[in-house]
Amino acid sequence: MTEPQSTPTPQALLGATEIRRLAEEIGVRPTKTLGQNFVIDGNTIRRIVAAARVDPQETVLEVGPGLGSLTLGLLDAAAHVVAVEIDPVLAAKLPSTIADFRPEKAANLDVVLADAMRVTELPRVPTALVANLPYNVAVPVVLHLLERFPSLQHGLVMVQDEVADRMAAGPGSKTYGVPSVKAAWYSQMRKAGVIGMNVFWPAPKISSGLVGFTRHEPPVTRASREEVFAVIDAAFAQRRKTLRAALAGWAGSPAEAERCLREAGVDPSARGEVIDVAAFARIAEAKIPLTA
């Protein structure tokens, strides 16, 4: 007679009771300034980890581990997690939470006390970024990390739903703007779902969205990333204007803007919201003298 197959018990994740207890233990009162909304639902964590498609060999960079909800899920899926947290009280508590809930994985975690918008060094080379990001700084954090750590090949972040739409938008969409074009410089972004408010403590007033990304090569151009980003900023600073008018200040005059646009193969009467990152790169390049 064969033994009945036992279903493996899913590893324990942090629920509302654990999160409140941990917060109370260290005297943390979640602050809006640091975007502290902690996930209290194991199914949401499993969903994020599954959508992130993390390979068991990977080192994952997590920004803002907070009380460790997502960190536990990531340690179950990846070889190593590097967690960058700005709040010293949360950063100090994290290793003991992991030691309590996943003693066998405790050695696979590095905690870095730092601002993710400024961090320049990590103890390991991460290949994936997976994070429930602090909402007020989500876009600058993603752009900084993609720029600073070229080893990041893919990832999944949870941000405000509206920001998720903007990051994943393509030319012509009404949500297409600076975050969409700058993100497209580094990667292909895709919307990967919507998350309700009740899976957080405290519950935010708005829904959250998941955005997945896969890195790709930036457009081939003689212009630097900074030069291309300057054109993007100028084009969207006055998004209702035609590119000829919006880029007049950047180019030096409307006529020079028109010359650069024509050379880049872009209609000067078009608006920034209809052109892609490769076109922005061609416009930036058109301003650089050929001898440069």
Q: In the complex, which residues of this chain contact ligand SAM (CB under 6 A)?
A: 34-39, 63-66, 69-70, 84-87, 90, 115-117, 132, 134, 137
Residue number, 61 or 223, with CB nearest to ligand SAM = 61
Residue number, 137 or 189, with CB nearest to ligand SAM = 137
The helices-and-strands tally (H runs, E runs) of the chain is 12, 9
Evaluate whether 38 touches 13 at the Cβ level (below 8 Å). Answer: no
Q: Tell which phi-psi region holds residue 96, choosing left (phi > 0), alpha (psi between -120 and 50) or beta.
A: alpha
Residue number, 70 or 260, with CB nearest to ligand SAM = 70
Residue number, 86 or 281, with CB nearest to ligand SAM = 86
Nearest-CB residue to ligand SAM? 64
β-pairing, 208-215 vs 154-160, is: antiparallel
Residue number, 55 or 115, with CB nearest to ligand SAM = 115
Q: How far is the CB of 6 from ligand SAM (least distance, A)?
A: 30
Which residues touch 128 (CB under 8 Å, ≥6 apart)? 52, 54, 55, 58, 59, 60, 61, 78, 152, 153, 154, 155
Listed in sequence order, the DSSP H helices in 102-224 are: 138-148, 161-168, 178-186
Q: How far is the CB of 15 from ligand SAM (least distance, A)?
A: 12
Evaluate whether 250 touches 231 at the Cβ level (below 8 Å). Answer: yes
Residue number, 30 or 254, with CB nearest to ligand SAM = 30
Residue whose C-alpha is closest to residue 235's, from 186, 284, 193: 284
Residue number, 208 or 221, with CB nearest to ligand SAM = 208
Alpha-carbon gap, residue 70 to 87, rounded angstroms: 16
CA angle 189, 278, 220 (to 5 degrees): 105
Q: How many CB atoms lie within 10 A of CB 137?
A: 18
Q: How far is the CB of 25 from ligand SAM (least distance, A)?
A: 15
Residue whose C-alpha is closest to residue 264's, from 245, 281, 283, 277: 283
